[in-house]
Every structure is written in structure tokens, then in C-alpha cells.
Amino acid sequence: MSKLAKKDGRNWLLYLLYVRNEPEECLRLIEEILKETNDRNDFASYIKGLILRSRGQIPQSLDLFRWSQKLNPFSVEMVKQVGRCLYLQGRTKASIEVYEEALKLCPDDWEIYHFKGLCHTNRNEIEDAMDSFRAANLIQKHDATFMQLGEVYARKEDYKSAIDTYLEALEFSPENPELLTTLGLLYLRLSENLKAFQYLGNALTLDATNQKALLATGSIIQDRSDHDAALLKYRIIAAHNPNSAQLWNNIGMCFFGKSKNVAAIACLKKAQYLDPFEWIIAYNLGIVHLSTQQYASSFHYFNAAISLNPYFATSYMYLAMALSSLGDIENACNAYEKALSMEEDFLIFLNYSLTLCNYGRKERAVQMYMKFQEIFDKLDAASKELDQDVQEKRRLLSKALGVQ
Amino acid sequence: MELWTNSWQDPVAGLKATSACMCLGDLKSDGEYNLVIADLKKKLRVYRGTSIAWESLLLDVPSAVAIYYSEIDAPPNLAVASGSFIFIYKNSRPFFKFTLPNLELPPDEVSIWEALKESRMDPTEAIARLSSLRESMSLLSNRSLDLLSYDSDEERLEFIEATKLTPLVQNTSITTLGVLKLDQELENAVSVLVIGTEHKFLYVLDKTGSAIITKVVLPDVPAFISTAGLFSGEYRILVACRDSNIYTVKNGQLMPSIIELETHSVGLINIDRSIFVGSVDQKVHCYHIKGRKLYTLYMPEQVSCIEMLKLTRARVFKGLLVALANGEIRLYKDKVLLHSLSIGETILGMAFGSYGREEGSLVLNVKSGGIVVKLIDKKANLEGRNEFIGPPPEQEIPLVIPAKSKLYLEQVDREKESARQMYGGFLRDLTSLRLRTAKAYLQLQYQEPTNQSIESQLSMGAYVQGLGPLFTIILEVQNQGRQSSTDIVVSFSYDPKLFQILTPLTYFPCLVPTLKYRQEIAVRSIEGASENIRVFLQNKVSCLPIISAFITIPGCDLV
């Protein structure tokens, strides 16, 4: 009686060591067991596969799962793990086939549908993915499935369904900070700041150090010009993730809002150091330098921002302003024209007119002013009142140009 | 106010036990509660007060211990599960041993092995029949499963030869133990043992612990067991299995409702009508006993084990203890975090109950092998909600803003004054850079390769050896063409005031393709200056050199 009959006698210990995240000890025991049993213990190979996979050794873990599948051909678990490995290797088609095989063994397992959905998402087969996720949820609801389903809807730009999915998920598990944050960010994307703030706030009461939620909340607070409160939020993130470019970008703009320009530039430069290819940082640096009258630097930053992202009209407008301050009126006019070809915004017209007026090109300045008037008059009273500076500039300009 | 006070600790106890292998009980029925720990290194130890009451060695690694009463008004039994046995101790003495029945193997399998033993059956046929048996989902012995895993006939034969003489039995091992009350809800009421095995069985033993009264087949291997109700009335056995599902056995029947977790479970307990299950993804889920999800508690770290905290005062208080991988122990009442205590070391096992004469002791086995006993403060207010949780402490840490130097500020001022000139300079430089780039590009297009001649396809490498004033120039010439070249003369061009070439004449009579020819030329530096010497290879056909190279003779101190 052999060792053979008792070869799975320590499987319970393997399981315990694995779930308690003690991989070293677990692997030691596995090697011992595998040596004793001539590699014939499906559970030990399975656990070894799981550990190796979590360390990124996917091909080795795939071999182990295939081996345990051979030892125990009717276990759905092994088939699922083989599929998961294939998915992680990016062989999604093969993975889907494996999962379909698994469904024959066990037709009502939510996990199979969930992971099949993930494969479809990766292959951009949105409809199939949604079908799989819905099937998974029909068997039993899980937060992970809801999250994936919502993401698929968001990718399809069907934001309403995405929001509905997340709301349904929240009904099922109302205190998942991850769900709350995702929903908050989605609302933020749809510019529903109030709702976004509410959900992000809820997420933060549950998990006070959730970085995504903190950054989003901070930026909403910052939008309302409460820079000190936003900075307090950013402090928490800085303690956990000091190398986030987005974080330092936002901190920089907070200081800019508080007119601490040197600190603002220091923070923005740190952000740029962390992520040199993020256009918004270069754009913000341009704005801060423009306001400190460092026009030459400002010109360079806007230039950089435009070469990283040529589809943002306002960058061209600011570039034009920097150029006009540098005395390069020809290029400034070109930049204004480029900005206007992308977006007919009243601010661009106003600034263009101002520049032209400063350089004495009154005729064209009046033209631009008229266009500005046209758009500006259509705005409702509230947005007109929003920026006092525009009103002031308008008054001065109309006086200088002699038009009403 | 501190909730826990230190009772005693033994940092060098040298024990390693999980929660399943720790329990507290009044082993002698004298009101003095003992601590039982079954160590993974096959040692059973009972603590009484601050000392070891007795110790015993075990035959195999213990998987679980349990204390239960088999009769009213008598000391309880201590059950230790290890391998396929349950050892029952009474009054600190071994009482008896219960052996799990061997697996009932299908008669076909038995007859196949019988035939193999007597060499009545061809191995190939045996394998075909065993594999069809496996396909019909029969539970086979490990021996048959192993046989099926060999691919070649030689290996199979060898395996059959090696094993056929031993009798075919398949025992099973115990993975987890539970205790179910028989007919009363009292603490020392008569109870029965519930056993989970590696072959997916769940057994309930009778109160004497000698016979199986209920047997249930589970869909997967049980990892944790929790019980509710009374065996004689209505009861539920909750089983967390290795496939990360939680199954319910109600009155001996496996219920169709399954709780499916996203990841593996780490621990399972039930408090009244709620089930708490810790999962690998740093969560503790709470379900209603009928399977509906109630809520999830999110932990900052991996969950090590979970345990129920029960205090009997004017009112019975029941809370949830969660031990995390970073050594933190959290106390929850429903969703509210009441208290958090940090041990600073990973916790292997945890038990809560009475110890000594004190109710409300928390016994911990930490990773370094030590034992820590903490006592709950009797006057602590556990009913009230936790005081308002303020903003996280990180909020008080000021931001580290990169400093800017005075020089930077001066540069800023300079830029403010002369931005236009800077911009002008930049434009000018940009234009000139572009011009130079274009020129360089143009030049490249028309440039001849310098050290490789096209016609005769010779290549030359030259380098200098020596510290001076004597140097050696080493020339390596190779013919890369298909025809050999003849009469190649090496000549030099240099300033005779600075250098003197000592080798009179260098000459390659014939260069055969692909061979490498080497010549050494001695040079004396007269002034010790660093200057170039130009080397040419010439033949008699053309007046132009075939190839030329500059060699820089390094400067040296003349002695």
C-alpha cells in the first residue's frame, strides 16, 4: 500500500499554501510530491501551473496544465486554465476553441462564458463578447463580468448602455469602489460632473486611497477653482504613486490657478520628465510660460504640443499669441487661420482680431471682430458672464477699432 | 482605547499551524480552557495556562483538529485528522482511531487488475477497458489513473509489473473537519464530526465517532467546512471547494444553489444566517445562508484567515475577525470596521474563544513560529459604530515641489527682456541647421568610399602599437576581389621633421583573394608630437593610389 494510493494525501496542504500566497513553500512541497509520484499528481501540477503563470512564465504553465489535463481529462478546471493561458499568450482564437470544448463538459459555468467574452473583446468581436458576458451573468452575477460588459459598451460608444450596466452592477454589489470609480469616470467623460462627483465621492468613502477616484475627484474640484482642496487630494496620491505624470500635471495647474507660477512650472516640468510624449503637459507648460511672458519658451512648448497632437485648435490659437508677442506676425496669422479652419470659436476670433489690431491691420481686425460678435451674441447670458476678461477685451477692442 | 490587551506570548514556540489545526476547548471539563495546536511538523501540543500540558507525536501531517462533546457532562473528545485517520483523544490520552473506509472501486476495475495479476489479460485491452471506465465517470484508483497516463507500451508493462502484486485498494485522505451539533444549541452540547475527503466525499460520523451516518458526494474537493443548525433537526453544511464554489448540503442533500466566487477561497465561516468567505483577491464576501449575495468587504492586503468573534455578555455579540497577510487583524460587525490591530508579522493560524478562565481570547500563530494570545477588553463598546474616519493620513504629507535655482529665475528675467532676440536667434539657427543638413546629405551622395577601392577591391586596416618614441604601424591588407593583385607597393606621406620611417620598403608581391596579409612598419617619433601619417597602397597600373588611410601617431614624452 503503497505510496501510490496515498499520493494525493497532501493536496489539502498545497491548496492552503497556494491560497495563502506562500508560493516558495508551495513550490518546494510540489517538487517533493512530483518527485515521489513520478510527476503523476494532477493537482500539484495544476497549482504549480498557477504559480508559474502568476510569475509570467506562461508557456511553462501551459505545459503543466496540459499535463494535468492528460492525467485528469474530465476536469473542467484544467480545460479552463489551458484556455486562460492561451488567452494570456494572445492566442485568442485557440482559446475560444478551448472554452467551447469546456462548455461541452460543463455547460453552466459562468467563468467559461466570462473568459470567452474576454477573448472576443480582445478580437474586437463586440457582439460575441456581449453575448458571452450576458450568458455569464445569466448563470450567476459577478462584478468582473459587469465591468467587462460596461467596458465593451463604452468601447462601442454606447454610453447609455454602459451606464445602465454599471448601475445594475451597483445594485448587485453597491460598495465596490472599482465599479463606483469606473462609473464616475464614465460620467466625467460625458461631462456630467455632478453625477461623476457623487459616484467618485462614494468610491472614496469606501476606499480613501483609490488613486483613480482621487485624481478624477481632484480634477473636478480643480475645475471649480478650489485649488487648495484639490491639492489635498493630490497629496494622497503623491504618497502612493509619486511618479504619475497626470498627477504632477494637475498639481502644476493647481499652482498656476493659485498664481504660483514658478511652482507650477517646476511641477509641470516634472510631469514632462515623467511622460515626455503627453501633449497636454506641453500645452499646459506653454500656457504657464505665456502668462509669465516667457514667450520664446511658450512658443517651443506649443510647438511640441502641436506636433504630439495636431488636432486641438486651441493649441494653434495660443501658438499664434506667442508668435505675435515675438513679433512674427506672418506666422501668427497662419496659426490663427489654421486654428479657425479647425474650429470657429469666438475666443479665436477675438484674439485674432486683437493681434491684428495691435499690428495695425485694422481692416482685417474689424472683419474678425464682426465674426466674434456674431457668435458671441448667440451665447446665453450665463456663459457670457462667465469670463470677465472676454467682456473687458471686447470693450477695449471695440473702442480701438471704432465699431459697435 | 485599546481593544486588545496582551495576555501572554511565546515567540519561540516553533509551531506552524493553520487555523484548521488550532482550537480552544475545556479538555478536562474543569473550567480551564486549553489550546490545542497540531503542528505541520507532525506534533500535537496542548497548552494549559502559560505552559505546555502535554505533547504527542503524530504519524502524518495533521490536516485539522476539532474538539467536540460526545456525551453530556463528560470531558470532550479531541479529534485530530491526519491522512485517512481520525485520532480521538480523551482526557489527554489516545482514545481510539477511526479509519476512513477505502474507496469502493468499480467491480470492473477490480476484475481487470485481477486478470492482469494472473496475466490473463493483454495490457492493451486492459488499458482500453480502463479508459472507457474512466469515460463513464467511474471513480478509479490512483493506480489505474497512473497506468492510463503512460504512453508507451514498455512503460505500461513496467508499471503493471511493478504494481500488480500489491492488493488494489484506494484509501482517501481527510482535507477538512467540521463539527455539527446534534440536538442542542449549547456550547457543550453533544456534537458529531463532519469530514471532507480528497475524493470529494462528505461524511458525517455518529456521536461516538465510529460509524458513518451520512455520506454525500460533492462536485469537487472540499477545502473548508462550516456548519449551521442541528443534526437531529434541520442543518446545513457549507462546503467551500477547491473549484472556488461554495456548495450547501441541507439535511444530507446537496442543494442546487451554488455560490460561485471569482477566485479561490481562503476561509469560510458562518455567523447566524450569514456566510463569510475570504477570497484570494483581497476580499471577504458575505452571503445570506440561502445563497444571496449581501455585501463584499474590500481589504488592502491578501486575506490569511477569517474567524468568528463571539462574546456573551448582557447580549451576545458576534463579529468577524479577518487576518491579513501584513499581520493586521480587523474586527468587523456587519459592514463596519470596528477595530484594527497590527501584529507586524504574517499570521498563519487564528483561533478565538475562551482560554484559561477568560472568555474572549484571541490566539495567533505567527509565521516565525511564535504564539501570541490577546485578550479582548471586557468594557469595550462594540455595539457603537466606529468613530468618524477622517481623511487618510497621507493628506498631511506636504508635496515635494522640485526646487528652482536662482540661476533659473535669472534666466526667466533674461527671457522676459529679450524673448524676441532669442526667437530670432532660434529661427536663424534652425535655418542654418537645415541648410547644413541638406549640404551634408548632398555631400554623402557624391562621396567616394575612402578606405575601400572599387576597382581592385582591396581593404586595409592600420593601427598603431607602442608608447613611443618607437611605434609600430601594423598594416593588414586583404584582397576581397576574385582575382589576385600583384606588385602592390606601400608608400607613406609624412612630415620628415616629426617622424622617421625605419622599415626601408614595404611591398606585397602578390595578394591572393581572402587571405589577410600583415606588415609591420617601425616609426620613430622625433619631436614627440601627435600627427598623422598617410599610408597609400599603389600598383603599377594606375598613378592614383588604390587605397589610403590616415594613421594618427599619438604624442609621447621623449626621454
Out of B141, B167, B173, whose CB is closest to A9? B173
Q: Where does the pLDDT of residue B150 fall: very low under 50, low under 70, confident under 90, or very high at 90 and above?
A: confident
Q: How far apart are CA A118 and CA A128, in angstroms?
A: 10
Answer whether residue A346 shows pLDDT above 60: yes
Answer whether residue B453 shows pLDDT above 70: no
Residue A235 lies in a domain: yes
Q: What is the pLDDT of residue A385?
A: 67
Cβ proximity of B168 and B113 under 8 Å? yes
Exposure string (b/e) for A230-249, b if CB count within 10 Å is 16 or more? bbbbbbbbbbeeeebbbbbb
Residue B337 burial (C-beta neighbours within 10 Å; 0-12, 13-18, 19+): middle
Q: What is the pLDDT of residues B487-497, one digit of tens each?
A: 888 888 888 88
Q: List the grid coordinates of A225.
A: 477653482
Q: How far is A77 from chain B (nearest CA, A)?
A: 7
Nearest to A387 by CA among A192, A221, A225, A217: A225
Q: List the grid coordinates of B51.
A: 505552559
Residues of B in contact with A18 (CB under 8 A): 264
Q: How far is A63 from chain B (nearest CA, A)?
A: 15
Answer whether residue B137 shows pLDDT above 90: no
Residues of B in contact with A295 (CB under 8 A): 415, 419-420, 423
Cβ proximity of B85 and B98 under 8 Å? yes
3-class SS shares of chain B: helix, strand, coil, % to 5: 15, 45, 40
Mutation to test the A interface, candidates B60, B65, B142, most A Cβ within 10 Å: B142
Global ipTM: 0.73
Q: What is the pLDDT of residue A285?
A: 94
Task: Give backbone dihedrals phi and psi of B294, rounded to 5 degrees, phi first.
Answer: -100, -60
Round the average pLDDT of chain A to a whole number and report it: 88
Answer whether residue B455 shows pLDDT above 60: no
Q: Which residues contact B291 (CB under 8 A, 6 or more apart)?
A: B248, B257, B258, B259
Q: How far is A232 from chain B (nearest CA, A)?
A: 6
Residue type, B28: K
Q: Is A12 an interface residue toward B (CB < 8 Å)?
A: yes
Mean pLDDT of B392-413: 85
B415 three-class SS: helix
Q: Where does the pLDDT of residue A7 fall: very low under 50, low under 70, confident under 90, or very high at 90 and above?
A: confident
Q: What is the pLDDT of residues B188-241, one digit of tens each?
A: 788 999 999 988 889 998 888 888 888 998 888 999 999 988 888 889 999 999
Q: What is the pLDDT of residue A4?
A: 62
Q: Is A231 an interface residue toward B (CB < 8 Å)?
A: yes
Q: Hey, what CATH class is B458-553 in? A: mainly beta
Q: Is A28 an interface residue toward B (CB < 8 Å)?
A: no
Answer whether residue B454 shows pLDDT above 60: no
Q: Which residues contact B349 (CB under 8 A, 6 or more apart)?
A: B17, B18, B19, B20, B21, B22, B37, B305, B364, B365
Q: How far apart are CA B262 and CA B277, in angstroms?
A: 12
Cβ proximity of B178 and B229 under 8 Å? no
Does B260 contact A143 at a Cβ distance shorter than 8 Å? no
Residue B542 burial (C-beta neighbours within 10 Å; 0-12, 13-18, 19+): exposed
Which one has a higher pLDDT value, B345 or B138? B345
Cβ proximity of A237 and A206 under 8 Å? no
Residues of B in contact with A139 (CB under 8 A): 260
Q: Where does the pLDDT of residue A290 fall: very low under 50, low under 70, confident under 90, or very high at 90 and above?
A: very high
Q: What is the pLDDT of residue A249?
A: 94
Does B145 contact A72 at a Cβ distance shorter than 8 Å? yes
Q: What is the pLDDT of residue B255?
A: 87
Nearest to B21 by CA among B314, B292, B356, B365: B365
Q: Is A63 an interface residue toward B (CB < 8 Å)?
A: no
Exposure string (b/e) for B362-401, b if CB count within 10 Å is 16 or more? bbbbbeebbbbbbbbeeebebeeeeeeeeebebbeeebeb
Dihedral of alpha carbons A309, A313, A319, A323, sign: positive
Rg (CA), chain A: 30
Least CA distance to B21: which residue of chain A?
Answer: A13
Percentage of chain B lying above the pLDDT 70 cut:
96
Looking at B84-151, which runs of residues are DSSP E strands? 85-90, 93-99
CA distance readout (Å), A120 to A59, A92, A149: 22, 8, 11
Task: Give backbone dihedrals phi and psi of B143, rounded to 5 degrees, phi first.
Answer: -65, -45
Answer whether residue A113 shows pLDDT above 60: yes
Window 270-299 of A: residues touching B by CB (8 A cutoff) are: 270, 292-297, 299
Exposure string (b/e) for A297-319, b if CB count within 10 Å is 16 or more? bbbbbbbbbbebeeebbbbbbbb
Q: How far apart are CA B185 and CA B208, in angstroms?
A: 19
Residue type, B303: V
Q: How far is B306 from chain A (nearest CA, A)?
A: 12
Which one has a higher pLDDT value, B143 or A183? A183
Q: How far is B169 from chain A (nearest CA, A)?
A: 7
Residues of A in contact with B286 (CB under 8 A): none
Residue labelled with grid coordinates 510624449: A277
Out of A1, A207, A327, whose CB is closest to B420? A327
Q: Which residues contact B465 (CB under 8 A, 6 or more apart)?
A: B471, B472, B473, B474
Q: Which residues contact A124 (CB under 8 A, 6 or more apart)?
A: none
Q: What's the distance, CA A189 to chain centroid?
A: 10
Does B394 contact A209 at a Cβ distance shorter than 8 Å? yes
Q: What is the pLDDT of residue A316?
A: 94
Q: What is the pLDDT of residue A1?
A: 40
- Counting one residue from A and one from B, how many pairs have CB atoms under 8 Å apart? 175
Round the average pLDDT of chain B to a whole number and report it: 85
Mean pLDDT of B476-494: 85
The three-state (H, E, C) secondary structure of chain A, written as one string: CCCCCCCCCCHHHHHHHHHCCCHHHHHHHHHHHHHHCCCCCHHHHHHHHHHHHHCCCHHHHHHHHHHHHHHCCCCHHHHHHHHHHHHHCCCHHHHHHHHHHHHHHCCCCHHHHHHHHHHHHHCCCHHHHHHHHHHHHHHCCCHHHHHHHHHHHHHCCCHHHHHHHHHHHHHHCCCCHHHHHHHHHHHHHCCCHHHHHHHHHHHHHHCCCCHHHHHHHHHHHHHCCCHHHHHHHHHHHHHHCCCCHHHHHHHHHHHHHCCCHHHHHHHHHHHHHHCCCCHHHHHHHHHHHHHCCCHHHHHHHHHHHHHHCCCCHHHHHHHHHHHHHCCCHHHHHHHHHHHHHHCCCHHHHHHHHHHHHHCCCHHHHHHHHHHHHHHHHHCCHHHHHHCHHHHHHHHHHHHHHCCC
Q: What is the pLDDT of residue B386?
A: 55
Strands B235-241 and B62-68 turn out to be unpaired
Q: What is the pLDDT of residues B25-81, one digit of tens each?
A: 888 888 888 999 998 888 899 998 888 888 888 888 899 999 988 888 888 889 999
Q: What is the pLDDT of residues B497-510, one digit of tens each?
A: 888 888 878 888 88
Residue A215 lies in a domain: yes
Residues of B in contact with A144 (CB under 8 A): 262
Q: What is the DSSP letter of B11?
A: T
Q: What is the pLDDT of residues A133-169, one digit of tens each?
A: 988 888 888 888 999 989 888 888 888 888 999 988 8
Cβ proximity of B196 and B205 under 8 Å? no
Does B198 contact A173 at a Cβ distance shorter than 8 Å? no
| Domain ranges for chain B | 107-163, 458-553
Nearest to B26 by CA among B53, B56, B64: B53
Q: Is A36 an interface residue toward B (CB < 8 Å)?
A: no
Task: Give backbone dihedrals phi and psi of B267, rounded to 5 degrees, phi first.
Answer: -175, 155
Cα first-last separation, chain A? 106
Q: CATH code at A201?
A: 1.25.40.10
Rg (CA), chain B: 43
Residue A86 lies in a domain: no
Q: How far is A70 from chain B (nearest CA, A)?
A: 7
B434 three-class SS: helix
Q: Where does the pLDDT of residue A308 fall: very low under 50, low under 70, confident under 90, or very high at 90 and above?
A: very high
Cα first-last separation, chain B? 87
Residue A366 lies in a domain: no
Mean pLDDT of B531-543: 83
In chain B, count of helices (H) and strands (E)?
6, 37
Query: Within 10 Å of residue B414's Cβ, how many Cβ atoms?
Result: 13
Q: What is the pLDDT of residues A209-265, one digit of tens each?
A: 888 888 888 888 888 888 888 998 898 888 888 899 999 999 999 999 998 999 999
Q: How far is A12 from chain B (nearest CA, A)?
A: 5
Q: What is the pLDDT of residue A206?
A: 81
Residue type, A130: M
Window 335-364 of A: residues touching B by CB (8 A cutoff) are: none
Angle between helices A143-155 and A110-122 (to 10 degrees): 20
Mean pLDDT of B9-25: 88
Exposure string (b/e) for A345-374, b if CB count within 10 Å is 16 or more? bbbbbbbbbbbbbeeebbeebbebbebbbe
The structural domain count of chain A equals 1
Q: What's the distance, CA A1 to chain centroid?
A: 59
Q: Which residues contact B176 (CB under 8 A, 6 or more apart)?
A: A12, B20, B63, B64, B81, B195, B196, B222, B223, B224, B225
Q: How far is B329 from chain A (nearest CA, A)?
A: 15
Residue-range definition of the domain harbouring residue A194: 175-242
Q: Provide the Cα torsion B350, B354, B357, B359; round to 10°.
A: 110
Residues of A in contact with B63 (CB under 8 A): 12-13
Cβ proximity of B231 and B183 under 8 Å? yes
